Copies of this chain bind each other. A is one copy, B any other.
């Protein structure tokens, strides 16, 4: 693991990001710098820097003098992230397509299979993210890719909030259609499918803290 090379602030921000995404920390809850510092056995200076990174990723909200809290989200933000992903992933795919090799498409197919076999959301999400990253990375546009990464983090958060425990296996036809179009060199068809794919918003009833049930929404692609 490369975390030894990272600065403490980076290590903390990664760990906190993971907890926020997985839902281990509730949306809206406060992040107290001294508590975090104590947990990680550091002073609060690197903790504050970690907070700034989380803020930039949209995972936390900071108000001056009033601390940092985990960002909360609603259906509107799910839609927003879905549309941004559609726009940017389509752009990335158009640029990546000319550089895609048979070997990359092979790995992407394996990722799809791994997703189909996943018994829990977490491993499904990982396989899904791998698929998207594989076919988009060759675009060689670092700023675009890092923006997409942040959007994937947000997506994962929505997903885990809705499908924390129950998860039923389903085969991803979209991924297969995208791969097939790419193999045939039909970039536009692949891009169109991808654009639709990441805008598909799933819906699921979940129990709230107060015991009632409401609908949760998430991007399932």
Interface pair A56/B58, CB less than 8 Å apart: no
A93 to chain B, nearest CB (A): 12
Chain A count of residues within 8 A CB distance of the other chain: 32
A147 and B147 in contact, given A6-B64, A52-B56, A53-B52 (Cβ under 8 angstroms): yes
Interface pair A10/B64, CB less than 8 Å apart: yes
15 further contact pairs, Cβ within 8 A, besides A7-B64, A53-B56, A88-B88: A5-B64, A49-B49, A49-B52, A56-B56, A76-B140, A80-B141, A80-B144, A81-B143, A83-B95, A83-B141, A83-B144, A84-B88, A84-B91, A87-B88, A147-B147
Residues of A within 8 A of B (CB): 5-7, 9-10, 45, 48-49, 52-53, 55-56, 58, 64-65, 76-77, 80-81, 83-84, 87-88, 90-91, 95, 140-144, 147
